[in-house]
């Protein structure tokens, strides 16, 4: 029976697997590659103490991303005592933190979707159920209390979040940003655009 190496955790295995899948591709990455990256002996089978397969590592990374997105999305709309622009900036920072924190996994999803359509559909549904739905819920709640004026909260939230996510996604894919702007300039302009679109009052 394979023995676990001290200090090599499920988290470490997931992190190294995702790094390798992102840099050299899922198919080109072997279980032995992952074990070596974690300081395990190739062929020892130590990885199987934690995961039954290479695919299970990818599945675990997707589920971890789902949980992280859910927690941060709920946190993004939790405070009700902020002014509108501060809430928009907080939402933007949360969305960017989620993408930047899982940039390797997102790169895998964008490059290898055809190989795992059902798995990445789960990932997308997690994003939809959290970031988009929570954003729409915030817009609806703010409209109800008279803080903004927008006819279609769901569509408006989708448009604003799409433009917001484009910045980090483009950076993940090609190493550039829209207009090659730095993050602060883009975020300042996005906040003002969102405030204008939502007709924020105050």
Nearest CA-CA partner of 22 in 78, 105, 116:
105
Map 47-78 to HEC letters: HHHCCCCHHHHHHHHHHHHHHHHHHHHHHHCC
Parse the chain into domains and list their residue ranges: 10-49, 59-198
pLDDT at residue 4, as a whole number: 46
What contacts 162, CB < 8 A, 6 or more positions away? none
| Domain 10-49: assigned CATH number | 1.10.10
Nearest CA-CA partner of 74 in 4, 147, 133:
133
Regarding the domain delimited by 59-198, which CATH topology (the fold level of the hierarchy) does it fall under?
A: Tetracycline Repressor; domain 2 (1.10.357)
What contacts 40, CB < 8 A, 6 or more positions away? 5, 8, 46, 47
- pTM for the full model? 0.78
Neighbours of 3 (CB within 10 A): 11
- The residue written with tokens 């709640």 in the block is 141
d(CA 35, CA 39): 6
**Radius of gyration in angstroms for the set of CA atoms belonging to the chain, rounded to a whole number:** 20
Secondary structure (DSSP) of 150-192: -S-HHHHHHHHHHHHHHHHHHHHHHS--GGG--HHHHHHHHHH
* 123-135: pLDDT as tens digits: 787 776 777 888 8
Per-residue pLDDT of the chain (202 residues; tens, 9 = 90+): 344 444 568 899 999 999 999 999 999 999 999 999 998 888 888 888 899 999 999 999 988 888 877 777 666 665 555 678 888 888 888 888 888 888 898 889 888 888 989 888 887 877 767 778 888 888 898 899 888 899 999 999 999 999 999 999 899 888 999 999 999 999 999 999 999 999 987 6
pLDDT at residue 1, as a whole number: 37
Structure tokens at 61: 């990374």
pLDDT at residue 68, as a whole number: 79
Q: Are 123 and 18 in contact (CB under 8 A)?
A: no
């Amino acid at each position: 029976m394979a023995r676990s190496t001290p200090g090599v955790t499920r988290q470490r295995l997931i992190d190294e697997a995702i790094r390798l899948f992102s840099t050299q591709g899922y198919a080109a990455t072997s279980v032995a590659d992952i074990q070596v990256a974690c300081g395990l002996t190739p062929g020892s089978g130590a990885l199987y103490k934690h995961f039954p397969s290479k695919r299970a590592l990818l599945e675990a990374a997707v589920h971890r991303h789902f949980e992280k997105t859910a927690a941060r999305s709920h946190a993004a709309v939790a405070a009700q005592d902020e002014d509108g622009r501060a809430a928009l900036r907080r939402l933007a920072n949360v969305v960017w933190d989620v993408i930047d924190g899982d940039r390797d996994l997102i790169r895998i999803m964008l490059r290898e979707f055809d190989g795992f359509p059902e798995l990445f559909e789960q990932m997308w549904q997690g994003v939809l159920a959290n970031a988009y739905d929570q954003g729409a819920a915030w817009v609806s709640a703010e409209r109800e209390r008279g803080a903004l004026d927008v006819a279609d909260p769901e569509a408006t939230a989708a448009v604003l979040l799409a433009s917001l996510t484009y910045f980090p996604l483009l950076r993940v894919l090609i190493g550039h940003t829209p207009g090659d702007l730095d993050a602060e300039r883009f975020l300042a302009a996005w906040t003002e655009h969102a405030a204008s679109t939502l007709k924020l009052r105050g």
